[in-house]
């Protein structure tokens, strides 16, 4: 086993010794997949119903990470029309072979009862990951998710994924076959190669498989235990890419859930790489509960980095210690958090913005009114299972302030524009400018919150599963002109506010962060919070432009 010391790795990678700060990709970035090509490191993560899909992050030193693009950025690659919240793109696999990059993905489009089996996974390719022009999808024949490619030294290519035994029992396992890498066609039958280390039932969920060949030995690294506090990583080794597998006696090699008091929980779904200097590193997802409550995890699952060493032919994650927010003596003491300001003085948006589902056509412009981002409304609003005129950026810190200025003159009480603290269709909260709710003259501030309903109430305007929607209105003193809007994020709450012209801030409502981190009945929690701007006709077309003057997003600790 060729492994250099951690001291050597630190000197080569950073030249400065203090503490690795996690998560290295703050804000929701689940299911990280890890790749090194030469001196370049890459990580891709999940995006679910957001578009574009699967961000690609790049680093030269494992400290400074840059979002260089998305693998799926065209409707021909990713058609998320009507896709439910938390469906869409699940865990990717990022691999490289003979000059070609491969991004493996799974797009799930439904959760309905007749959808008995998993969707097909697929892969896209590029020979220049920085240019970002990936191919259209090449589909596998197999059904499952968390698929990944392994290129064996003899030229065989293996597809390994999480599948189920049948459409009735739905017992999960790790499946594999050989494929033609040109067409994606199967060359061998699907084979169950591993059932995990936990008791075999519908909750054990062996998934996220990665196969490696390291010093003549094959390894199978998987995730187990579901996506909550039981999530973990385990590893096996064997004589071939298909096993049979010898269990690591120290499994799980990553599991923070044994101690619920740890500040990082839900650790798992890992991937490892060898550095150019012979050091080894791993990534995994994890979540940071707030206020001692595991439901307060509105940033979702983020990406964590840690050193990997070897003992007796087995990898050891983080020297056998739980994954933490600070790992002493590793890399550079540098926060990944940064202030973000956009004055909309460019002709194009940067690649940190997302749509909810694939947009049918452009609805924003940076040239219609120079110095502003204009949103042209459609009939859909945040929460509708379609593509509203809504642009989002991920929240990156539990203490984070989002602010913008909106120039918008509504024509009635259906035309509406504002900002959102957004998770998904049923978990989102807005403050906006709209017309008189009673049909009169003038402009009003509209505040809409969707919170978890307690047994027996309180009841408000609408009731959906276990959430209650409340709408409140506040008159503005002017019929036109700019209005500032803000969302102030704290570890266990959000506050929404507004200010007219040069007037003082007014904060009409504060709501519990569980409102965007506890899923409604039958729902999932796979993503995390984002801040957004939107414009809508609430079921009607709208000719009223919504012009936003800037976007300021300030986390609590910025560099």
Give just the sign of the alpha carbon dihedral 148, 152, 157, 163.
negative
Catalytic residue at 407?
Answer: no
Strands (E) across 22-110 are located at 33-37, 40-44, 50-51, 53-59, 66-72, 88-89, 93-97, 100-108
- What residue has token string 């938390």? 86
- What residue has token string 């896709």? 83
The H or E element spanning position 548 is strand 545-555
- What residue has token string 């005129």? 389
Rounded to a whole number of angstroms, the distance between the first and last alpha carbons of the chain is: 38
Catalytic residue at 207?
Answer: yes
Strands (E) across 326-425 are located at 326-328, 340-342, 355-356, 364-365, 373-376, 389-394, 400-407, 416-424
Tokens encoding 309 = 């060493």
Contact in structure between 195 and 162 (CB atoms under 8 Å): no
Tokens encoding 512 = 């519990």
User: Which of helix, strand or coil describes residue 15?
Assistant: coil
* 130 secondary structure, DSSP code: T
Give just the sign of the alpha carbon dihedral 199, 202, 204, 207.
positive
Q: Which of 86, 148, 207, 224 is catalytic?
A: 207
DSSP lists the bridge partners of residue 120 as 143
Tokens encoding 499 = 């200010």
- Numbers of helices and strands, H then E, in the chain: 1, 40
User: Which of helix, strand or coil describes residue 19?
Assistant: strand
From the list 387, 422, 408, the residue with the least C-alpha distance to 484 is 408
Q: Active-site positions? A: 31, 207
């Amino acid at each position: 086993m060729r492994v250099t010391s951690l001291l050597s790795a630190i000197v080569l990678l950073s030249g400065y010794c203090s503490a690795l700060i996690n998560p290295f990709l703050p804000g929701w970035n689940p299911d990280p997949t890890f790749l090194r090509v030469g001196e370049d490191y890459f990580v891709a993560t999940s995006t679910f119903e957001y578009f574009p899909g699967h961000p690609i992050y790049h680093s030269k030193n494992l400290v400074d990470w840059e979002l260089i693009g998305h693998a799926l950025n065209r409707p021909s690659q990713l058609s998320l029309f009507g896709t439910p919240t938390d469906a869409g793109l699940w865990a990717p696999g990022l691999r490289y072979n003979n000059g070609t990059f491969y991004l493996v993905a799974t797009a799930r489009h439904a959760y309905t009862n007749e959808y008995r089996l998993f969707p097909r996974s697929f892969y896209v390719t590029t020979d220049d990951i920085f240019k970002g022009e990936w191919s259209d999808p090449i589909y596998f024949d197999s059904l499952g998710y968390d698929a990944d490619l392994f290129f064996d030294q003899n030229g065989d290519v293996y597809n390994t994924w999480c599948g189920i035994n049948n459409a009735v029992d739905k017992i999960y396992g790790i499946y594999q076959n050989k494929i033609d890498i040109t067409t994606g066609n199967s060359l061998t039958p699907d084979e169950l190669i591993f059932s995990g280390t936990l008791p075999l039932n519908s909750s054990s969920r062996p998934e996220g498989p990665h196969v490696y060949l390291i010093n003549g030995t094959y390894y199978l690294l998987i995730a187990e235990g579901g996506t909550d506090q039981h999530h973990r990583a385990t590893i096996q080794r064997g004589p071939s890419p298909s096993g049979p597998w010898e269990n690591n006696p120290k499994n799980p090699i990553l599991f923070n859930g044994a101690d619920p008091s740890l500040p990082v929980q839900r650790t798992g779904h890992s991937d490892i790489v060898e550095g150019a200097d012979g050091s080894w590193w791993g990534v995994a997802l994890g979540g940071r509960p707030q206020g001692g409550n595991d439901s307060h995890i509105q940033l979702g699952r983020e990406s964590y980095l840690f050193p990997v060493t070897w003992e007796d032919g087995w990898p050891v994650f983080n020297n056998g210690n739980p994954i933490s927010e600070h790992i002493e003596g590793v890399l550079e003491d540098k926060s990944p958090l940064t202030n973000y300001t956009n004055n909309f003085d460019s002709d194009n948006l940067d690649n940190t913005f997302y749509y909810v589902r694939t947009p049918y056509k452009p609805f924003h412009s940076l040239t219609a009114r120079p110095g502003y981002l204009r949103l042209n409304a459609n009939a859909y609003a945040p929460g509708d299972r379609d593509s509203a005129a809504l642009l989002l950026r991920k929240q990156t810190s539990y203490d984070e302030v989002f602010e913008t200025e909106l120039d918008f003159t509504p024509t009635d009480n259906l035309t509406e524009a504002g900002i959102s603290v957004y998770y998904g269709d049923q978990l989102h909260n807005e403050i906006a400018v709209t017309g008189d709710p009673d049909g009169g003259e003038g402009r009003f501030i509209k505040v809409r919150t969707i919170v978890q309903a307690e047994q027996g109430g309180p009841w408000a305007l609408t009731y959906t599963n276990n959430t209650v929607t409340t709408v409140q209105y506040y008159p503005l003193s002017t019929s036109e002109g700019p209005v500032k809007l803000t969302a102030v994020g704290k570890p266990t709450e959000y506050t929404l506010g507004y200010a007219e012209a040069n007037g003082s801030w007014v904060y009409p409502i504060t709501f519990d962060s569980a409102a965007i981190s506890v899923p409604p009945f039958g729902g999932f929690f796979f993503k995390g919070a984002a801040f957004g701007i939107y414009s809508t006709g609430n079921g009607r077309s709208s000719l009223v432009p919504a012009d936003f003057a800037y976007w300021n997003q300030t986390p609590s600790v910025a560099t």
